[in-house]
Amino acid sequence: MPGKTTSVNLAIRHDPDQIKNLLLVLEHARADAWLRRDIRALEALMAPDSLEINYFGRFSRDDLLLRFFPRMMLHTFTIEDPVLFPAGEGTAALTYVCYEELTVDARKIKGTFTVSALYRWNGKQWKPALWQITPYQGP
């Protein structure tokens, strides 16, 4: 039935380990979409009102897909030391350290960064509301 919450959905939404693992799968899928240059896969992973904040600015979903995606080529992306922060019913944040190598407008960039990804449960799946990457400052 449409809109019906199943026990599987409840378990995923309320078990921190399952939520963390699922959000990690989504983060890997996001990186994979960038690596493969698959704009449709990236679009499917994003909420309609999602935002990304990165070195180059603040981007709405449309800005990211239409303006930034054509300019950026991701070459390497790792995820290390993920930590989940449940933030109430239907909201969770995943933070991690990443190493990435990318090219934007022919400018090569590489380094270690901290990612903070805020996810919301939309009744069917987790979607990122805010994805932010900043230079890593160390422990």
Could you tell me the CATH number of the domain that includes residue 123?
3.10.450.50
How many domains are contained in the chain? 1
Q: What pLDDT is stored for residue 14 in this prediction?
A: 65
Residue 58 domain-assigned (yes or no): yes
Residue 103 domain-assigned (yes or no): yes
Q: What pLDDT is stored for residue 81 in this prediction?
A: 95
Residue 18 domain-assigned (yes or no): yes
pLDDT grade for 31, boundaries at 50, 70 and 90:
very high
Q: What pLDDT is stored for residue 6 in this prediction?
A: 46
The reported pTM is 0.87
Residue 125 domain-assigned (yes or no): yes
Pairing type for strands 57-60 and 91-104 reads: unpaired
Residue 63 domain-assigned (yes or no): yes
Provide the angle, in degrees to the nearest 10, between the axes of the packed helices 16-36 and 7-14: 90
H helices of 6-139, in order, are 7-14, 16-36, 39-45, 61-63
Q: How far apart (Å, rounded) are the C-alpha atoms in residues 44 and 46? A: 6
Residue 3 clears pLDDT 80, i.e. is over it: no
Condensed to tens digits (0 to 9), the pLDDT of residues 36-80 reads 999 999 999 999 999 999 988 999 999 999 999 999 999 999 999
User: Is the torsion defined by CA of 130, 131, 134, 139 positive or negative?
Assistant: positive
Residue ranges making up the domain that contains 53: 7-135
Residue 14 domain-assigned (yes or no): yes
Residue 1 clears pLDDT 50, i.e. is over it: no
Instruction: Tell me if 111 sits within 8 A of 139, measured CB to CB.
Output: no
